[in-house]
Structure 1
Amino acid sequence: MSLTRTEMDRKIDEHFSFEASDNVQGVLATLAPQVEHDIVGWPTGPTHGRDGARPFYEALFADLSDGKVECLKRLYGDDFLVDESIWRGRAPGRPFGLEGRDRPLEFRLLHVIEFADNSDIKRENVWVDLAAIIRQLPQV
C-alpha cells in the first residue's frame, strides 16, 4: 500500500520537529526498528537499527543548536521522498569535526527518505553541504 504525499510530509515534518527540539527518543521513534541510517561522509558509514542511529543524533544535538529547517523543494515517489532544505542555527560544538565556537551556521541538506508501509522511515540517506560548513567555520 502506497503512502500519500500528506502522510510522507507528516512523518518527515515530525522527524524534523524532534530534531529541532534535540529529542533523541522522538527522532528514533520516527524510524523503523531496522532502519538503514546513512549520513554520507559520517565516519561510521551507514548504520542499521535505531540503536545504530542513536550515536549520530547524540553527537548532532551536542554540536548544533537552535536549528530550524526550511524546506525548499520535495519530490515524491512510491513510498519515498527527496527533501531539499536549508538548516540554520548555531554551532556550539564540533560539527563534522570543525570547531563551531557557537558561531551561526547555515547549510543545505538533501534527504532521501524511504518509508515502510506503516509510515516509519525505513531508510534515511542524508547529504550535507560540507563545503558551506567549512567556509563558515574556518579553523584559525
Structure 2
Amino acid sequence: MAMTRVEMDRKIDEHFGFEARDDVDGVLATLSPDVEHDIVGWPTGPTRGRAGARPFYEALFSDLADGKVECLRRLYGDHFLVDESLWKGTARGRPFGLEGKGRPLEFRLLHVIEFAGNGDIKRENVWVDLAAIMQQLPQG
C-alpha cells in the first residue's frame, strides 16, 4: 500500500527535526535497519545500515551548528519523495572538508527518500550544493 503525502511529510519532518537537534540516535531511528545512506560526494561513498550512516551524522553535527531547514518544494511518488530545501546555519568545524571558522553558511539540499513498507526511510540520497558552500567558505 502506498504511503500518503501526510505520512511521508511526517517521517521526513521527524528526521529533519532530529537533525536540527543534533540527535544522532533520533536520526538513525528514522532509518530502516538496512538503510542505504548515500551522501553524494562523501568520501566513504554509499553506506549500509544505521551503523554505516552514524559516522556521517556525527561529523555533520560537529561541523555545522544552529541549522534551520526551509522546505522549498516536495514531489511525491508511491513510496518516495524528493525534497528540495535550503539549509542555513553556522560552519563551526570543517564541513565537507572546508574550514568553517564559525562563518554563516547557507546551501541548497536535494533529498531523494525511499520508504519501507513500515514507513521507515530505506534509502536516503542527498545532493548538496557544494559550489555554494565553497563560495561562502573560501580557503586560504
TM-score (norm 2): 1.00
Which residue of structure 2 lines up, in the alignment, with residue 15 of structure 1? 15
Unpaired segments of 5 or more residues in structure 2?
none
Distance 1:32 1:87 in 2: 24
1:110 CA drift (Å): 0.1
Distance 1:68 1:14 in 2: 14
Distance 1:70 1:118 in 2: 26
Distance 2:86 2:99 in 1: 21
Percent identity for Structure 1 against Structure 2: 81
**2:123 matched to 1:123?**
yes
Which residue of structure 2 lines up, in the alignment, with residue 4 of structure 1? 4
**Could you give the per-residue CA deviations for residues 114-133 of structure 1, whole angstroms, max 9, x where no partner exists?**
00011100000000000000
Calculate the aligned-residue CA RMSD, in Å: 0.3
Partner secondary structure for residue 19 of structure 2: helix
Partner secondary structure for residue 59 of structure 1: helix
Alignment of 1:37-52 (within 5 A): 37-52=37-52
**Could you give the per-residue CA deviations for residues 76-102 of structure 1, whole angstroms, max 9, x where no partner exists?**
001000000000000000000000001
TM-score (norm 1): 1.00
Distance 2:105 2:47 in 1: 26
1:30 CA drift (Å): 0.2
Which residue of structure 2 lines up, in the alignment, with residue 109 of structure 1? 109
1:27 CA drift (Å): 0.1
The list of structure 1 runs, each at least 4 consecutive aligned residues, that deviate by more than 4 angstroms after superposition, is: none
1:9 CA drift (Å): 0.1
Partner secondary structure for residue 52 of structure 1: helix
Unpaired segments of 5 or more residues in structure 1?
none
Which residue of structure 2 lines up, in the alignment, with residue 27 of structure 1? 27
